[in-house]
Structures are given as C-alpha cells and as structure tokens.
C-alpha cells in the first residue's frame, strides 16, 4: 500500500432532486459506516482500505442513480477539524451504546439478547474512535445474558 | 481471455475470478493493477472496477453480475452470490449469517503477506468449498 499517508476519506455528492430512494440508500450507508456529515453533500470517514472501498461503491451507486460523486482520500486536516470529526463520531456512537444499554434489561428472551449482540457488533464496527460507552454497553449486555428468561 | 482487476484481492474479486475460470473460461488469465489505474486503454476485460460493465450494479456485487451476464442459473451459485454480496458490502440489508465469517477470512487473506496470485489460489479453494456448501 502506498496510501499510508491518507488519514481521511471524503465523499462529496449530489443526487437529482427527484430521487428519494437513492437519497435514503446514501444516507443509510453513510450512517452504517459511521460517516460524519460535513455539509449537505459532503461526508468524511477515517481512512482505511475497507472504508475507502465502501465509499467507492457508494459513490458508484450515486452515479448510477444519475448523481455525481467524488471520493477524495486526504492526508490531513486542520487539528481542530480532526478533533471535531472525532468528537462527532464518538458522540453518535455514545448515543447508540446508550440505547443498547437501556435495552439490556433482565428477563429478555434469548432472541432479545442475540439482537443486542448483533446491534453491539454493528455499532463497534463504526466506532472508529473508541467511544467510552462501549465498555458500559458490553457489561450491560453481558449482564442481560446472565439474567435472561431461562 | 485476459481480465483486469484491482490488486489486493478481496472476496468479490476472488469469487468472480474463481467463477470465470470454473464456468466461463478455464484458461482465463488475470492482471492486477493499482486502484487508481485507468484501465480503459488496457487489453484485458476489467471487473470489479468502478464504471466497468462487469462490476457492482445497484445493490448487486460483481460476482452476482457475472452470474447474470453468463446465465449461470445454478441455485447454489445464487446462494453463494448472496453470501459474497454480504461479505463484500456488510452495510447491505439482510446479510446472510455466513457472510461475516467469510468476510473475516478474506480480510485476513487481503492483509496477509502474499502475492495476489497466491491470494487467488487460496481464495479459490475457499470459493470451491463454499460452492460445495451451497450445493448441499
């Protein structure tokens, strides 16, 4: 890999105003990969080979829907901008961990506990900067597993 | 036939190359290029490269597009296609349970200190095994 100097991947895009399905797909994909929306039509994720790839395929879907998209790996941003992006990723994940934690109550069914595990796994996958709530959510789900209904 | 794809192979490119050799052209050869390379002027048929005909279209991954383009209608390949799609694009809806494990294996294969020829050889054996699993 010669791209080790990249730190971020920026996606800029524009969709035709008529298209609501691609808009939803785009928004949902960005949410699932843990992207931060910078402005309408611009989002950023930390650089990794995988996130670059996921972003490229999202860009391709936008283009296929009649839109325009650019995928821009960048080396570094201003320190305060990087801090802001990290804080926003962490804050979004804290909120998701907190939701999982409040759902992890005693007496859940086995299915309910498995759903929490699935949810936890997908939040961890987009927890790019290790939000503190991860440990609390992990403990709460472990406890719910011990205290589940039979 | 000569085919061209991006280097540092992962599941969709390996499964596609495996299926090309297995079902389309046993003598197919493959060339691997950096992701930034403009393949339009190259001799081979590009796949799993943005803008190529043999690449992702909509929610479908390249492997599924290959099946469709070559009328490969074996249901086992269709099942394998859904697993490959889920392993390649984990943010898709309704990812089969096999996909996350397959993804882990191919993440490791990509990151191992191997040439792409070796990745293709090892990954093709995985695809053959998965195909047997999907056929059973």
Query: Tens digit of pLDDT for each residue in A15-33?
Result: 998 878 899 999 999 999 9
Chain centre to alpha carbon of residue A17: 25
Test the B interface: residue of A47, A57, A119 with most B CBs within 10 Å: A57
What does the pLDDT average to over A91-95?
A: 98
In this complex, the residue of B50, B58, B90 whose CB is nearest that of residue A56 is B50
Give B32's DSSP letter.
Answer: E
Interchain CB contacts (distance < 8 Å): A and B: 27
Give the ipTM of the model, two decimals please: 0.92
pLDDT class for A4, splitting at 50, 70, 90? low
What values do phi and psi take at A43, rounded to 5? -140, 160
pLDDT reading at A3 higher than 60: no
Contact yes or no for B30/B5 (Cβ under 8 A): yes
CB nearest to B58's CB, from A49, A50, A61: A61
Q: Does residue B29 have a pLDDT over 70?
A: yes
User: Is the entire prediction scored with pTM above 0.90?
Assistant: yes
Closest residue of chain B to A52, computed from CA coordinates: B35
pLDDT tens digits along A36-86: 999 999 999 999 999 999 999 999 999 999 999 999 999 989 999 999 999
The DSSP line for A11-33 is: EEEE--TT-SHHHHHHHHHHHHT
CB atoms within 10 A of CB B45: 16
A 67-126 near B (Cβ less than 8 A):
125
Confirm or reject contact between A43 and chain B (CB < 8 A).
no
Flag if A54 and B57 touch (Cβ within 8 Å): no
CA–CA separation, B110 and B123 (whole Å): 10
């Amino acid at each position: 890999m010669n791209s080790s100097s990249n730190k971020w991947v920026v996606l800029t895009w524009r969709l035709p105003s008529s298209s609501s399905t691609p808009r939803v797909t785009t928004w949902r994909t960005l949410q699932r990969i843990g992207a931060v929306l910078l402005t309408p039509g611009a989002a950023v994720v930390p650089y990794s080979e995988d996130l670059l790839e996921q972003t490229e395929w999202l860009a391709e879907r936008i283009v296929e829907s009649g839109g325009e998209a650019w995928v821009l790996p960048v080396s570094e941003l201003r320190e305060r901008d990087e801090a802001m992006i990290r804080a926003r990723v962490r804050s979004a994940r804290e909120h998701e961990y907190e939701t999982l934690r409040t759902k992890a109550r005693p007496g859940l069914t086995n299915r309910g506990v498995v759903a929490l595990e699935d949810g936890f796994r997908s939040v961890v996958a987009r927890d790019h900067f290790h939000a503190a709530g991860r440990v609390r959510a992990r403990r709460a789900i472990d406890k719910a597993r011990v205290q589940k209904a039979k | 036939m000569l085919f061209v794809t991006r280097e540092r192979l992962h599941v969709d490119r390996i499964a596609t190359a495996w299926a090309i050799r297995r079902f389309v052209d046993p003598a197919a050869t493959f060339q691997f290029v950096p992701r930034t390379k403009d393949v339009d002027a190259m001799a081979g048929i590009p796949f799993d490269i943005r803008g190529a005909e043999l690449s992702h279209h909509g929610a479908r991954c390249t492997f599924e597009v290959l099946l469709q383009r070559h009328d490969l209608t074996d249901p086992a390949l269709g099942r394998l296609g859904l697993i490959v799609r889920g392993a390649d694009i984990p943010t898709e809806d309704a990812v089969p349970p096999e996909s996350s494990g397959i993804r882990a294996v191919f993440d490791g294969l990509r990151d191992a200190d191997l040439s792409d020829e070796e990745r293709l050889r090892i990954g093709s054996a995985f695809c053959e095994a998965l195909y047997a699993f999907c056929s059973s």
